[in-house]
């Protein structure tokens, strides 16, 4: 694999789907999985099969229908979980078993109630078990970034020795800062003697709004797989957003020199599909895919965009599959945008007419948030009627 290629691991159907409000039924999951295939994700985590028979059924269907991406299923470090994933993904062209156990003392003592040595033994037993089913095994150390580094190094070395080909070190509770996570991966990869035998992966949550920044810093620290979700959905504040990670590499390739296999023109339709399937709206100011990401209302911005789009846009809407930028007519808009919108409606206005239409538009915008094409057409008709009456 080229050293500058990032493996995009999509977990929308697992970490995303398990968040409140984002559950989907099997046909909906399959529909989204087909779209993720079109988008070009490298690894598609299809679900957590042991969680329910519906989950297992959806993972099985996705494994048999979707060609291209590696199909992964999640399992705790537990025999029944791993056997269930192995069964669910066995029809896939390329199948991955993703097994995890928490490694921080907080999780070991308070949640799992096991010792560090028991945790280590579970990694030995379960990574080896998973490796018996497939040669593509991912091991995740849950709450890795709050784990004791010496212990985590032992865990990672053991997982690799037992056959893990990808090692994922999640920032499970979104606690890290970018400098910290970069150093964390740099130190760990340097200290683990067999680290060259596995791909390192980052999985960042957004509790402090740093998931994307942390994922990119982790890449600087040596990760080559990034786990992310469409629209950044996921547990609590969500996961790193796939579209943001990918577009940073596109727009700022000078500073983030990595490639991905993502067809960026399918980003917007994928985001819309997820929102429609889950009936969860995308935040309007969401980077890349929000309704306002390519919309301009302020007069100064509209004037700039009309003269040269690049004054206020750092990427072309078409690059992410958005048809075009929109100049929203509202109380902050200027005459340039009103003139352009009238022209788009096929109406040429004199200076005086434009002035009247503009003032009527601002009046209306004071009463309602935005002025739609139908409102503008009504205003133009009214101005024309008054003018004709005045002239008669």
Site string for ligand KIV, 131-160 (x = CB under 6 A): ---------x-x------------------
Q: Which is nearer to ligand KIV, 147 or 302 (CB)?
A: 147
Return the sign of the alpha-carbon dihedral for residues 257, 262, 267, 271. negative
DSSP assignment of 7-50: EEEE-IIIIITTSTT----HHHHHHHHHHHHHHT-SEEEEE-GG
Beta-strand relationship, 43-47 and 7-10:
parallel
**125: which residues sit within 8 A by CB, 6+ positions away?**
77
Site string for ligand KIV, 175-214 (x = CB under 6 A): ----------------------------x-x---------
Distance separating alpha carbons of residues 212 and 305, to the nearest angstrom? 28
Query: Nearest approach, Cβ of 28 to ligand KIV (angstroms)?
Result: 21
Q: Which is nearer to ligand KIV, 145 or 333 (CB)?
A: 145
End-to-end CA distance of the chain: 77
Task: Give yes or no for residue 47 binding ligand KIV (CB under 6 A).
Answer: no
Determine the 3-state secondary structure of 295 from DSSP.
strand
Query: Nearest approach, Cβ of 251 to ligand KIV (angstroms)?
Result: 27
* Segment interacting with Zn ion (CB under 5 A) among 12-20, 173-181, 261-269, 371-379: 12-20
76 sits in which H/E element: strand 70-76
Task: Give yes or no for residue 96 binding ligand KIV (CB under 6 A).
Answer: no
Q: Of 317, 275, 280, give the one whose Cα is nearest residue 296.
A: 317
What is the DSSP secondary structure assignment for residue 109, as one 8-state letter?
A: I
Distance separating alpha carbons of residues 372 and 311, to the nearest angstrom? 25
* Segment interacting with ligand KIV (CB under 6 A) among 105-113, 168-176, 259-267, 372-380: 168-176
Q: Nearest 10 degrees: CA dihedral of 368, 373, 379, 382?
A: -140
Task: Give yes or no for residue 100 binding ligand KIV (CB under 6 A).
Answer: yes
Task: Give yes or no for residue 136 binding Zn ion (CB under 5 A).
Answer: no
Of these partners, ligand KIV, Zn ion, none, which one is at the site of residue 17 (CB under 5 to 8 Å by kind)? none
Could you say which of 10, 12, 14, 15 contacts Zn ion (CB under 5 A)? Answer: 15
Site string for Zn ion, 201-240 (x = CB under 5 A): ----------------------------------------
Distance separating alpha carbons of residues 73 and 70, to the nearest angstrom? 10
Could you say which of 99, 172, 215, 260 contacts ligand KIV (CB under 6 A)? Answer: 172
Task: Give yes or no for residue 215 binding ligand KIV (CB under 6 A).
Answer: no
Distance separating alpha carbons of residues 104 and 145, to the nearest angstrom? 8
Binding residues (CB under 5 A) for Zn ion: these are 15
Per CB under 6 A, residues contacting ligand KIV are: 15, 100, 140, 142, 168, 170, 172, 203, 205
């Amino acid at each position: 694999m080229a050293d500058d290629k990032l493996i995009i691991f999509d977990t929308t159907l697992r970490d995303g789907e398990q968040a409140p409000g984002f559950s989907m039924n099997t046909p909906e999951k399959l529909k989204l999985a087909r779209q993720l295939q079109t988008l070009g994700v490298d690894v598609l985590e299809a679900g957590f099969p042991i969680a329910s028979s519906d989950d297992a059924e959806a993972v099985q269907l996705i494994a048999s229908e979707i060609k291209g991406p590696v199909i992964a299923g999640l399992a705790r470090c537990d025999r029944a979980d791993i056997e269930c994933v192995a069964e669910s993904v066995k029809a896939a062209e390329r199948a991955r078993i993703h097994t995890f156990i928490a490694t921080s003392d907080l999780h070991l003592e308070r949640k799992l109630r096991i010792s560090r040595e028991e945790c280590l033994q579970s990694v030995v037993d379960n990574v080896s078990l998973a490796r018996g089913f497939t040669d593509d095994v991912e091991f995740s150390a849950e709450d890795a970034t709050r784990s004791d580094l010496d212990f985590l190094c032992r865990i990672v070395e053991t997982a690799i020795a037992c056959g893990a080909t990808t090692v994922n070190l999640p920032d499970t509770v979104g606690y890290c800062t970018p400098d910290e996570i970069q150093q964390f991966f740099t130190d760990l990869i340097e200290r683990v003697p067999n680290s060259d035998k596995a791909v390192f992966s980052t999985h960042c949550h957004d509790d402090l709004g740093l998931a994307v920044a942390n994922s990119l810093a982790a890449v600087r620290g040596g990760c080559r797989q990034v786990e992310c979700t469409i629209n950044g959905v996921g547990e609590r504040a969500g996961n790193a957003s796939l579209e943001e990670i990918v577009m940073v590499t596109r727009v700022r390739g000078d500073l983030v020199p990595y490639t991905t296999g993502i067809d960026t023109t399918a980003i917007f339709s994928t985001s819309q599909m997820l929102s429609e399937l889950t009936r969860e709206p995308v935040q309007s100011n969401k980077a890349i895919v929000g309704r306002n990401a390519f919309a301009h209302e302020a007069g100064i911005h509209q004037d700039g965009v009309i003269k040269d789009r690049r004054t206020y846009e750092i990427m072309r809407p078409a690059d992410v599959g958005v048809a075009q930028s929109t100049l929203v007519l509202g109380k902050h808009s200027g005459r340039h945008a009103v003139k352009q919108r009238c022209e788009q409606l096929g109406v040429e206005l004199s200076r005086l007419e434009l002035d009247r239409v503009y003032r009527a538009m601002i009046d209306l915008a004071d009463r309602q948030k935005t002025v739609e094409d139908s409102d503008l057409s009504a205003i133009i008709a009214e101005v024309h009627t008054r003018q004709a009456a005045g002239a008669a």
